[in-house]
Each structure stands twice: as structure tokens, then as C-alpha cells.
Chains A and B, each alone.
Chain A
Amino acid sequence: MNKTHDYRKSDLENFLFHEADLLDQWKLDEWLQLLDENFVYQIPSNDSPETTHKKTLFLVADDCNRVKERVHRLKDKNAHAEFPHSRTRRIISNILVRNINEFENKVTVSLTANFIIYRHKRGGDIRTYVGCYHYVLDENKDSYKIVSKKVILDAYELGSMGLISFIL
């Protein structure tokens, strides 16, 4: 551990909080603006967190086009699992910068952050998602773009969470 990365810490934290806020408010088009053109969004199956989606069945393995289609779907009221939209609240914490890679004026930051997401549906149906985000962010002079977002769920099985019908 050293202090050299700390100047970025509050910027990164603000960025992640901003992303969480957009998702909690279902501002999905604005969320898409945060994504790099080569963005990937992945959620491995609970029993196989340390794997690649090309060889292992994941719960979600979207490239940039698929994630745009996912957003397109979620904005349609015929996405029944999310209509009416569930209410979500994301708590993001324990942000750790894992690696900073500088190459030809391009700065890439790898970090992890713990999360708790509460998802509320009508009728007292509360589902809790707990885990760790693995991000790769492209740092530019104004802000960040998300190059990849891998979501590792802590639970041994999805179980009572049931679905991943919204964006984690």
C-alpha cells in the first residue's frame, strides 16, 4: 500500500457513486453514455466466478451492442419482469485501486468495489444482492469511461434473489 494513487480516489469514488445514482434512477440512456465503445458487462454464474464466458455458462455476458439492446428492452413496458420498474438502492463501498496502467497516453484503472443492492418490488418483496464489482476504467482528462464491469455475487447460488432482470 502506498499513497501515490490517492489523488484519484475521490474522483473514482464520485464516478462510481454517479453511476449507481443513474442506475437507481433508471436513467439508462445516461448510463450508456458512461460506457466505452468496447464495453463488456458480465455476471458469472454463482458457482464459477473465476472463469471466462467463452467456456462457462454465465448469467450475463453482454458486449456493448448487447447491453444497448438490454437497455432498449428495459425501457419497453413489455419487459414484464421490470414493469413496473423495481426500486433499487445501491450502496457502494471498499473501493480499492488494483492496478493503473499507462500506455501511450492512455491510462487504464482497474479497481474493485463492494456493493449491496436492495431491490424492492410491490407487496413487501425485498431482494438483496451482495458482491464485488470489478471495473476497468479508461481515464481521460475530464472523466472516466467504463471498459468492463464484471459483477461477482457472493451467494453460492442466486436462490431467493431469483432474477437479474435489472442492471446490477
Chain B
Amino acid sequence: MNPEQFVINDPINFDFQVNRQSLVDPKILEIEMKNIFDTCWIYVGHESEIKNIGDFKTRNVCGRPVILCRDSNSDIRVYLNACRHRAAVVAREAEGNTRSFFCFYHGWSYNINGELDGVPGKASYPPSFDVTRLGLAEPSHVDSYKGFIFLSFNKDAVPLVEYLAGATEYIDLIVDQSPSGKMEVIKGTQEYDMKANWKLLVENSFDDYHLITTHSTWLNYMKRSGVEIKKPEKGHLMPSHGVGKVLGNGHAVIDNVNFRGRPVAKWIPLYGESTKAEIQKIREELIDRLGPDRANRVAETNRNLVIFPNLVLNDGSAITIRTFHPVKPDLMNVTAWALGPVEESETARAVRLDSFLTFYGPGGFATPDDVEALESVQKGMATFKEVPWSVMSRGMSKEGEQLNTDELHLRAFWIRWKDLMFSQIGR
């Protein structure tokens, strides 16, 4: 396959186009599974989800069932959730605390360190049968950055921090919201499907060009609740200033001046008068701890971060961790969680969760319209033979700053996608 057949990137002539075949073709998805999902660092979960020894969560990551587990040394482990005997999954619950993983099919069992420690009728196996080589298998690499756990099935993967590149700055801005530097995933998981190609959700997650038209009902809701929505400056589309930035390795971010309120720490009327003092207290703690400039950075800007290929950290009306895996070219499974500081008071936590639901999730005031947009795009994609190209050149001819409504950050994703799909970079 010729890379130019899928992404045209011509900075001299300010031309950037993506071929729609990349969003509908099952052969492309096959290559993506190998060249992208089996190559990159992929998000698994958060350290706070497995606090105690023996805690585990089961997930699907890159098409594999995995177990995220805290072992007897309190280390974080990820096991492939498949018995070494006949491959039946050994943990069938969503979560729990256990001393072992037991395969009910023939009774093999594994301890929380993944070691095979029970084989019924072991004497019938030949002498070469070696239990020490039959522990639960693990991905090539598992590592975490400030609580966020990733795996890689690529034995030659670069270290996680190197992979994350400039994205670490934006993860740090999230973690800085906790006085102790510890964030936690809040109970309650939103798991839902979208009938759209997974890359459309990448684009959508940090595309502010769509906000005004796709989310006008949300903007109305904000206005009606007392939030000030300013008229955009001349030549702009958004009520506040925001930029798009490229962070390396396909990661990118939009970084916007906040107008919509933040649980840490910018009060809006929607939060209720009774919470005003508490949000102010959180702000003061930020200023004491981080200094006025950094506190301002944390509390007065929203950031939608895409970590290539399939992790989105939206730090807006609340913080959402959102990850998604393709099932078919036109279907993905999405999982989303809310993240908050561990020491958050009951009031502040309630504000955060309430604020989350004003925008995000399958029942929110905005996400449903995103889903409708992406599913609508996917339907239109059936015309890809007649109309093969989507133009993605907003901002390309501008010198200097790129706006959140430009497409520099979307292009960064697609440039990395093209590199990985058609060459050996990063492998």
C-alpha cells in the first residue's frame, strides 16, 4: 500500500487530506491492530483502581481479555486473562479481591503473582511438564506514569515516559489538582458503543471546530444557568481563547481559557451558592501550594489531551479518562471514568460528578450529540468511492499560533498514524 493513498500532507501547498477508505476498510483495521495497537503503549487502568493486594479488574485491551492486578509484593501486574491449559478466562468477574485465579474448566489455578500453583492430576503429565513455565502470560511491558497504567505488546517499545513525550506536562497539570499528588478513579463506569470508526472519536475529542454547532443546546444550557458566554473575538469561533498544540509521537492537546467552570477550581452558578466558599478554598490551596501562576494554569484552563492512539484525558467540566477500542471499522467500545483528587471533600466530589454530567457521557447534555455526529459521519463514509477525501487543512497557512478550532492537532494524529501504518518507525 502507498502511504500517499491514505494521507496527503503537503505543507508547501498547504494541503492536508485524509482518505475515507482508512475509516471503512477492514484491511486497514487489521493493519492498525498490528502496527498501532500492538506497537504503542496502550492505557489499561489507574493505580487507584487496585489499591490493595489481591485487588483486580478485568478489561479488554487491544482485543485481549486482561487482568489488572495488585500482586503480593504490591506491584502492579497485567496478566493475559487466559488459562495456559485451554485458554478459558480465569477471572470472569469485572472486579474483586482474590488470593487466586481459578479456571473452573479443568481446575488449574494461579496465585496473584500469576504463578501456576494448582494442577489437578498433575502426575499424569510427562516429566517435561514444568509449572514454572506455565504462569499467566503478560504483555511485553507494563509501566505507569503518575498513576496511569499502560501496557505494550511491543518488546522493542521505548520507555513509557519517552513515549508520552510532551503529554507528561498535561498529565502533570491534572495530577497537580491533588494536594498529595494522588488522583483516584471514582466508582461508576460508563461503557457504551459507537457505530463509528475509532479514529473519528480521536478527532472529535479535541476538535473545537464542532462545538458551536454540535453543542448549541449545551451552550444554551450553560447560558441559562448563568454562565457568561462571550461573543467570539473577530475571526474566532469560540467564546474564549484556545490553542492547539502538538506534543510528539502523535499526542496533541487543545488548551483553552476556561469559561465553563471547573471543580478545581472555578465556581459557576450551576454548582450552587452553597459550594462557592468551598471551591474558593480549593483555589486558595492551589495558590499556596503551586504559586499564583501555576494555580492559574491549573484552574483557569481546560485541556483535552489525546495520547496516541486511544486515550483521551478531558480536563474540562470535570476530568474524564476515556479509552476506546475498535471492534469493526464502523464500531468501537468506549469506556469512560471520572477522576478526582483523593482528598476531595464530599461536597467537592458531588460538585465534580454533577459537573461531569452536564456535558459528558451517554446521558450528558453534549456527548450524545457527538455520538450522533460520528455515527452520521460513518454513514456518509459509504460514499467514499465517489468522494474519497476529507480536507483537514484548517490553520495550515497561518504562521505561529494555531487555534483550538484549527486542525494542527488532528493532523498530528494522522501524521503519526501514517508513519506507523506504512513504515517501521517506533517498532
User: Which A residues are closer than 8 A to B by beta carbons?
Assistant: 43-48, 51, 53-61, 69-70, 72-73, 76, 78-82, 123, 156-165
Cα–Cα distance between A82 and B372 once the two chains are bound (Å): 9
CB distance A73 to B221 under 8 Å? yes
CB distance B191 to A46 under 8 Å? yes
Cα–Cα distance between A45 and B191 once the two chains are bound (Å): 8
Given A53-B354, A158-B362, A164-B368: 8 more A-B contacts, CB < 8 Å: A48-B187, A60-B357, A69-B224, A76-B220, A79-B217, A82-B368, A156-B94, A157-B191
- The residue of chain A having its C-beta at the shortest distance from the C-beta of B350 within the complex is A54
Sorted from nearest, which 9 A-B pairs have the closest CB atoms?
A: A57-B188, A157-B191, A81-B368, A60-B363, A165-B368, A164-B363, A45-B188, A54-B350, A158-B192
Chain B residues within 8 Å of A48, by CB:
187-189
Which residues, 347 to 364 on B, are CB-close (under 8 Å) to A? 349-350, 353-354, 356-357, 361-363
Chain A residues within 8 Å of B194, by CB:
162
CB distance B362 to A59 under 8 Å? yes
How many A-B residue contacts, CB cutoff 8 Å?
Answer: 124
CB distance B190 to A44 under 8 Å? no
CB contact under 8 A between A79 and B369, given known A58-B357, A61-B353, A158-B362? yes
Cα–Cα distance between A54 and B399 once the two chains are bound (Å): 47
Chain B residues within 8 Å of A161, by CB:
192, 362
Which residues, 87 to 124 on B, are CB-close (under 8 Å) to A? 94
From A43, A57, A162, A165, residue with most partner B Cβ within 10 Å = A57
Q: How far is the CB of B425 from chain A (nearest CB, A)?
A: 35
CB distance A47 to B189 under 8 Å? yes
Q: Does B346 contact A (CB under 8 A)?
A: yes
Cα–Cα distance between A80 and B217 once the two chains are bound (Å): 9
Chain A residues within 8 Å of B94, by CB:
47, 156
Q: How far is the CB of B283 from chain A (nearest CB, A)?
A: 22
Q: How far is the CB of A126 from chain B (nearest CB, A)?
A: 13
From B192, B194, B216, residue with most partner A Cβ within 10 Å = B192
Chain B residues within 8 Å of A81, by CB:
368-369, 371-372
Cα–Cα distance between A70 and B364 once the two chains are bound (Å): 9
CB distance A45 to B189 under 8 Å? yes
CB distance A57 to B337 under 8 Å? yes
CB distance B353 to A159 under 8 Å? no
CB distance B190 to A45 under 8 Å? yes
CB contact under 8 A between A157 and B192, given known A54-B346, A79-B369? yes
Cα–Cα distance between A53 and B187 once the two chains are bound (Å): 10
Q: How far is the CB of A154 from chain B (nearest CB, A)?
A: 14
CB distance A57 to B217 under 8 Å? no
From A80, A156, A159, A164, residue with most partner B Cβ within 10 Å = A80
Cα–Cα distance between A157 and B373 once the two chains are bound (Å): 22
User: Which B residues are closer than 8 A to A by beta carbons?
Assistant: 94, 186-195, 213-214, 216-218, 220-221, 224-225, 333, 337-338, 346, 349-350, 353-354, 356-357, 361-363, 365, 368-369, 371-373, 379
From A44, A61, A73, A79, residue with most partner B Cβ within 10 Å = A73
CB distance B365 to A73 under 8 Å? yes
CB distance A76 to B217 under 8 Å? yes
CB contact under 8 A between A159 and B193, given known A56-B187, A56-B188, A57-B337? yes
Chain A residues within 8 Å of B218, by CB:
73
Can you name 9 A-B residue pairings with CB atoms under 8 Å? A51-B187, A55-B353, A59-B362, A61-B357, A69-B365, A73-B217, A157-B189, A163-B368, A163-B371
Cα–Cα distance between A55 and B189 once the two chains are bound (Å): 13
Chain B residues within 8 Å of A160, by CB:
193
CB distance A54 to B362 under 8 Å? no
Cα–Cα distance between A49 and B272 once the two chains are bound (Å): 26
- The residue of chain B having its C-beta at the shortest distance from the C-beta of A63 within the complex is B354
Cα–Cα distance between A55 and B351 once the two chains are bound (Å): 10
Chain A residues within 8 Å of B349, by CB:
54-55
- The residue of chain A having its C-beta at the shortest distance from the C-beta of B358 within the complex is A66
From A47, A69, A81, residue with most partner B Cβ within 10 Å = A81
Cα–Cα distance between A51 and B356 once the two chains are bound (Å): 17
Q: How far is the CB of B56 from chain A (nearest CB, A)?
A: 15
CB distance A57 to B187 under 8 Å? yes
Cα–Cα distance between A51 and B373 once the two chains are bound (Å): 32
- The residue of chain B having its C-beta at the shortest distance from the C-beta of A155 within the complex is B191
Chain B residues within 8 Å of A45, by CB:
188-190
Cα–Cα distance between A73 and B94 once the two chains are bound (Å): 35
Chain B residues within 8 Å of A47, by CB:
94, 188-189, 191
Cα–Cα distance between A69 and B194 once the two chains are bound (Å): 25
From A59, A70, A161, A163, residue with most partner B Cβ within 10 Å = A163
Q: How far is the CB of A127 from chain B (nearest CB, A)?
A: 10
Cα–Cα distance between A58 and B337 once the two chains are bound (Å): 10
Cα–Cα distance between A72 and B216 once the two chains are bound (Å): 12
Chain B residues within 8 Å of A79, by CB:
217, 368-369
Chain B residues within 8 Å of A159, by CB:
191-193, 333
CB distance B353 to A56 under 8 Å? yes
CB distance A162 to B195 under 8 Å? yes
Cα–Cα distance between A160 and B350 once the two chains are bound (Å): 29
CB distance A59 to B217 under 8 Å? no
